[in-house]
Amino acid sequence: MKSSIKKLFQKSLNIESIFNESEKIPSSNEKLTSEHSHLNEFKQQSSSIHIFPLGTKENHSGNYSKYVETSLTHISQLLHIKFEYALEDPKISNNVPNLSLSQKKILLLDLDETLVHADFSEEFIDDKYDTIIKFKSKNEENEKNDFFSDDDSTWCDANDSEDDLHSVGLFVRNGVNDFLKEANKYFDIGIFTASVKEYADAVISFLDPENKLIKFRLYRNNCINFNDSFFVKDLRIFKKVDLGKIILVDNSMYSFAAQINNGILINSFFNDKNDYELNNVLEYLINFILPAEDVRDVNEEFFNFRQIINDLVS
């Protein structure tokens, strides 16, 4: 069973942390100055690196090896970046749940192209959507300033009504509902998305209408925007939580660049009715991650992401 699961992942899926945890507790007089200094240091470090990551459409089963190799080549350039300094930005740490008392391992799930695909570009407009999501933007101009560009896949121009009401056709990945129900038995599930809150909440409410399966939500403002190139979901945002018990399923490898061995890379989903990747993920989670003392060790044994990075920088 385990060997067959591994073969499935080698075909379609792709994680110890790259960066050491460091907790500093400055005095009350020094805290603001220290945080400002640290945040500036992060900005200075990151500004010297120019990475143009592969788009999520490049992450598909036939292009798996190239996507992983290119992504890890980029990520290997980030080893000296102190992402934890960016977490001192109050905007990023806002409304983060306290998970330190969780009795289960924590399963974080990306949203777009991992669980669903929102057809903002109307690429599949001739196909039948699973549903139409409607949502309002709270502050359009401020939100658009946080986006990479107007054609970002998580943004829709306000053409629907005078009230900034947006609507978008949604495709749901095969098996999402069963996946959430089964995974909920063993893990504390949270959504960690690089999308904005209003849109993400509309999608999550559709996936979990009774609010019983998904225990918490993190959004774009909780991510680290790296030079307007990609978003990093640094898991140290959860204070006093052992990183050995957190797993992130995402279709972008850059999302878990700060903790490469905490991520499971799933192929991007757009509109494939024959896609059953979530079945493979669930089997891996239950058979390997659930009994693991440290999820990072298991992921490294399976995917060798850390070893690939070591080979790239050696």
Beta bridge partners of 226: 230
Q: Which member of 112, 208, 234, 275 is catalytic?
A: 112
110, 119, 188, 234: the active-site residue: 110
Query: Residue 64 in contact with residue 14, Cβ under 8 Å?
Result: yes
Token pair, residue 307, equals 């070893």
Can you tell me which residue has the tokens 């907790």? 23
Structure tokens at 158: 């306000």
Q: Is the CB of residue 117 less than 8 Å from the CB of residue 270?
A: yes
Beta bridge partners of 134: 167
Report yes or no: 81 and 42 within 8 Å, Cβ to Cβ.
yes
Give 185's contacts (C-beta < 8 A, 6+ positions apart).
none
The answer to whether 175 touches 278, Cβ cutoff 8 Å, is yes
110 belongs to the catalytic site: yes
Which of these, 171, 184, 77, lies nearest to 131 by C-alpha position? 171
- Report the Cα 139 to chain-centroid distance in Å: 24
What distance lies between CA 295 and its chain's CA centroid?
Answer: 17
Radius of gyration, CA atoms only, the chain: 19
Q: Cβ(14)–Cβ(250) under 8 Å?
A: no
Annotation marks residue 112 as catalytic? yes
Buried b (16+ CB within 10 A) or exposed e, 53-74: bbebeebbeeebeebbeebbeb
DSSP letter for each residue of 133-195: EEEE-S-HHHHHHTSS-TT-TT---S-S-TT-EEEEEEEE-TTHHHHHHHHTTTEEEEEE-SS
Greatest CA separation for the chain: 60
Active site residues: 110, 112
